[in-house]
Amino acid sequence: MPNRSFRPTLGFLLPAMLGAALALVPAAAHAQYPAKPVRIVVPFIPGSAPDVLARNVGERLSARLGQPVVVENRGGAGGNIGAEVVAKAPADGYTLLLATSSHVVNPSLYAKVNYDPVRDFAPVALLIKMPSLLVVPIDSPVRSVAGLIDLAKAKPGQLNYGSGGSGSLAHLSGATFQATAAIDVVHIPYKGAPEIVTSLLSGQTQYAFPTFSTALPQVRGGKLRALAVTGARRNAQLPDIPTMQEATSPGFVLEAWFGLWAPAGTPPDIVRRLNADVAAMLADTEFRAKLAADGSEVVGGTPEEFAAYVRSEALKWDRIVRDSGAKVD
């Protein structure tokens, strides 16, 4: 006697089985990640602090992923161009963004930004924090922050300070210093951090706030004089240099931080894989020592912790931009 229940039962099971099989395809595909080279977009020029860090991270991440990691510089608009590239990239884990705190500063500085720094990105990991250094040329008569303030007040409108571009950390540090010290100085934006040093050595600018890693070799080489560090505490690489808080006013703490993002919608298992690889990389004693040698503080943490930090930093920098009066030229 034919089994009349077989056909309807099979007809009921086939769609369910097919659906279950299809549901497993993304997971299986993710399990093979990465199957091709990974690209890290750096929204700044070659030689800048984010570029140097990205190349160090890329080299070590490549070893852990088993695939080449290519660093691509897409500088311009204070980091907006490169960030937009990643925001619009496929959410498959093959395009990442390594950017700085400018990522959350720019929406407060620019009239139009074609991405949302929180909504359009999946945080992978907070990598490091890095202070800036207030520096002057070695042949400058200025030997302290107080001396710089006195000189600026004696020559209103005659001192120039350089930055790596309008809205950069060096610009905001300079604008905050100008506001807190009540001095009249001129901001000269350049195309990137390396040009800050060139401007100082050529006499085009009299002081600047380059990142620690940019300024440290010039300070040690006797070409620039460090007056203060913008971190919350003195830096182990230059322990005799006071903080801006010590030298001028409490609360003057402005640090760059560097993070790794993927486009929003990147599968959580890929984000977790990348985060685990970054955590292992940052735990390496040799790598930590290399980062510390540039004055950096290694951070790390989970994607969730990074997401919360990004949200809090967006609020903080919005206040700093408004209080300093800094504007994009």
Q: Which CATH architecture has domain 37-130+256-324?
A: 3-Layer(aba) Sandwich (3.40)
Are 37-130+256-324 and 133-247 equal in CATH topology? yes
Residue 212, both tokens: 């620690």
Among the listed residues 193, 217, 210, the one whose alpha carbon sits nearest the alpha carbon of residue 293: 217
Predicted local confidence at residue 249, as pLDDT:
79
Q: What is the C-alpha separation between 18 and 180, in angstroms, rounded?
A: 66
Q: Where are the domains of the chain?
A: 37-130+256-324, 133-247
Q: What is the C-alpha separation between 128 and 298, in angstroms, rounded?
A: 5
Q: What is the C-alpha separation between 57 and 52, in angstroms, rounded?
A: 9
The sheet that has 160-163: what strands, in order across it? 186-189, 160-163, 207-208, 133-137, 224-229
Task: Check the CA dihedral 323-176-210-61 and report its sign.
Answer: negative
Task: Summarize the chain as % helix, strand, coil (round to 5).
Answer: 45, 20, 35
- Please, are residues 119 and 264 in contact by the beta-carbon 8 Å criterion? yes
Predicted local confidence at residue 31, as pLDDT:
60
Q: Which fold has domain 133-247?
A: D-Maltodextrin-Binding Protein; domain 2 (3.40.190)
Predicted local confidence at residue 188, as pLDDT:
95
Predicted local confidence at residue 42, as pLDDT:
98
Predicted local confidence at residue 30, as pLDDT:
54
Residues of the chain with pLDDT under 70: 1-31, 329
Q: What is the C-alpha separation between 92 and 262, in angstroms, rounded?
A: 8
Cis peptide before 2 (omega within 30 of 0): no
Reduce the DSSP state of residue 135 to 3 states and report it: strand
Predicted local confidence at residue 17, as pLDDT:
42
| Cα atoms in the Cβ-side hemisphere of radius 13 Å centred on 93 | 22
- Please, are residues 49 and 98 in contact by the beta-carbon 8 Å criterion? no
